[in-house]
Amino acid sequence: MDRRVTWLPFGLSRYSGKQVVGGGLIVIVLALLPYLDSNSSHISAVADAGYILLLAFGLNIIVGYTGLLALGFAAFFAIGAYTYAFVASPQFGLHWSFWIMLVVSAAVAAAFGVILGAPTLRLRGDYLAIVTLGFGEIVPQLFQNLDKWTGGPDGIAAVDQPTLFGYNFGFNPTPYYYLYFVVICICLLLLTNLRYSRLGRTWMAIREDELAAEHMGINTTTAKLLAFSMGAAFAGIAGVIYAAKLSTISPSGFDFNMSIMILAAIVLGGMGNLSGVLLGGGIIAMLNFLILPQASNWAHALGTKLNVAFLMSVDLTQYRFMLYGIILVLVMLFRPEGLLPSATVRAELHDAGKTPEAA
C-alpha cells in the first residue's frame, strides 16, 4: 500500500495508497456531514472552520514554506472581506457578483501583499515580523477610522449573500459549508502541486538558507514576493466567504488575535506540511467554535449541580487565548515541528540544537 498511486491526476500521484484512501475517506465523510448531523449550529461551526483553514493555508505559504514570519496576517483577511463588502452591500449601493468578487478580492489582497512585501522583504526575520505586525494593526485601525466609507467601528451590514443558479444562500449554514468544502478541495490540489513545483522548491530553499539560495541563482526577492502575494490571496478568498456568510463585518473581527489564532493553528499542526496545517487548523477551529462553547455549557451544568457560582457563570471561550498561548509555548519547546511535520522541517529543527550558533 505504500507505493505511490501513479495513475491519479492533478499531482495526487505523489501520495501513497494509504494516504489517498485515508484522505478520500475523510473527504467523503465531510461531504456527507450535513446529512449525518442535522444540528445547523454544528454545521455552521464546521463551516467556519473553512476560513480558518484557508487562512492557515495562506500563512503556511509565507511562514511554513518560505520561512518568513508574518504576524499581521489578519490584515489581508480584512482587506478581502472589506473589498467584497464595499461592492456588495447597501454601503455604496453596489451589488456585484459574489463569484467574481471571490477572484477580484483575492487579487486585491495579493496586490496588498506585494505593496507590503516590496519594501519590507529585505528585512531580517524578526524585523519583518514586526513590520507585518504594524501593518496588521494599521489596517483594521484604518477601516475603523475612515468611517465615511467603512462605517467606522460598526462596520458594514447587510453584505450580499451569494446566489448560485437562482438559489440564494441566505443564512442557512449548509450551502456555505459546501462552498468552503469545494474551495478548500480546489486549494488543496493547487497547494499540493505548488509545493513540489519549481516555485515551491524555491521557497523551501529560501527557508533553509536564504544566502545559499541566492548564490544558487534564485531570485529571492521575486520568490518571497510571490509567497507573500499568494498567501495574501488565500486570506482574500477567506475574507469574501466570511463576509458573505456573516453578512456583516466590523474591524474588530480582524485584530491581532485572529492572526495569532492562525499562527497557533499552523504551529500546532506542523509548519510547511499540508496535512499538518489541515490538522492544526481543524483542531483550533473546533476548539474555538465547538468545544469551548460546549465546555462552557458543561461547566454551567456542573456548577448548577454542585452549586459552585464560578462554574455556573464561567465563559471558557474568554480564555481561549490562554489555551493558544500554552499551545504555542509547549509545541515550540517540546515538539517544534508540530503534530504532523514535514520530514525536512523535522530534520532541520532537531539538527539545530547541535549547532552552537544558528542565527
Partner 1 sequence: MFELHNCAPQFVQQLINGVALGGLYALIALGYTMVYGIIELINFAHGDVYTLGSFISLSILGLIPLASISNPTVLALIAVAVIILAALLCGIVGVLIERLAYRRLRNAPRLAPLITAIGVSLILENIMQIWKGNSEVSFPQFLPDNWHQIGSVRFDDRSLLVVVVSVVCMILLNLFVFRTKLGKAMRATAQDRDAAQLMGINVNSTIAWTFFIGSALAGVAGFISGMYYGTTFFLNGYQAGLKAFTAAVLGGIGNITGAMLGGFVIGIVETMTSGCISDQWSEVAVFAILILTLVFRPSGLLGQQLPEKV
Q: Can you read off the three cell numbers belonging to residue 309?
A: 457560582
- The contact set with partner 1 (CB under 8 A) reads 63, 67, 69, 71, 119-120, 123-127, 129-131, 133-135, 137-138, 141-142, 144-148, 211, 256, 260, 263, 267, 318-319, 321-322, 324-329, 332-333, 336, 348-349, 352-353, 355-359
Q: Which is nearer to partner 1, 183 or 277 (CB)?
A: 277
Nearest to 282 by CA among 32, 16, 3, 53: 53
What minimum distance in Å lies between the beta carbon of 19 and partner 1? Answer: 28
Q: Which is nearer to partner 1, 62 or 184 (CB)?
A: 62
Q: Which is nearer to partner 1, 48 or 348 (CB)?
A: 348
What minimum distance in Å lies between the beta carbon of 191 and partner 1? Answer: 21
Report the relative pairing of strands 88-89 and 163-164 from DSSP bridges: unpaired
Sign of CA dihedral 165, 52, 190, 114: positive
Distance CA 317, CA 52 (A): 17
- Map grid coordinates 509548519 to a residue: 271
Report yes or no: 189 and 14 within 8 Å, Cβ to Cβ.
Answer: no
Angle ∠(120,124,127) on CA atoms, nearest 5: 70
DSSP for 289-348? IIIHHHHHHHHHHHHHHHT-HHHHH--GGGGHHHHHHHHHHHHHHH-TT-SS--HHHHHH
> How many Cβ atoms from other residues are within 10 Å of residue 198's Cβ?
10
What minimum distance in Å lies between the beta carbon of 359 and partner 1? Answer: 4
Distance CA 334, CA 348 (A): 15
Q: Can you read off the three cell numbers belonging to residue 74?
A: 489578519
How far is CA 8 from each of CA 18, 28, 192, 196, 197, rounded to the nearest angstrom?
13, 17, 13, 16, 17
Distance CA 19, CA 25 (A): 10
Residue 330 CB partners (closer than 8 Å, separation 6+): none
Distance CA 77, CA 70 (A): 13
- Could you tell me which residues are beta bridge partners of residue 16? 4
What minimum distance in Å lies between the beta carbon of 63 and partner 1? Answer: 8
Q: Which is nearer to partner 1, 3 or 124 (CB)?
A: 124
What minimum distance in Å lies between the beta carbon of 337 and partner 1? Answer: 10
What minimum distance in Å lies between the beta carbon of 100 and partner 1? Answer: 30
What minimum distance in Å lies between the beta carbon of 259 and partner 1? Answer: 10
Q: Which is nearer to partner 1, 63 or 184 (CB)?
A: 63
Q: Which is nearer to partner 1, 130 or 157 (CB)?
A: 130
Q: Which is nearer to partner 1, 5 or 323 (CB)?
A: 323
What minimum distance in Å lies between the beta carbon of 2 and partner 1? Answer: 31
Q: Which is nearer to partner 1, 264 or 285 (CB)?
A: 264
Amino acid letter, residue 323: L
Q: Which is nearer to partner 1, 1 or 211 (CB)?
A: 211
Q: Can you read off the three cell numbers belonging to residue 4?
A: 505511490
Q: Can you read off the three cell numbers belonging to residue 178?
A: 459546501
What minimum distance in Å lies between the beta carbon of 327 and partner 1? Answer: 7
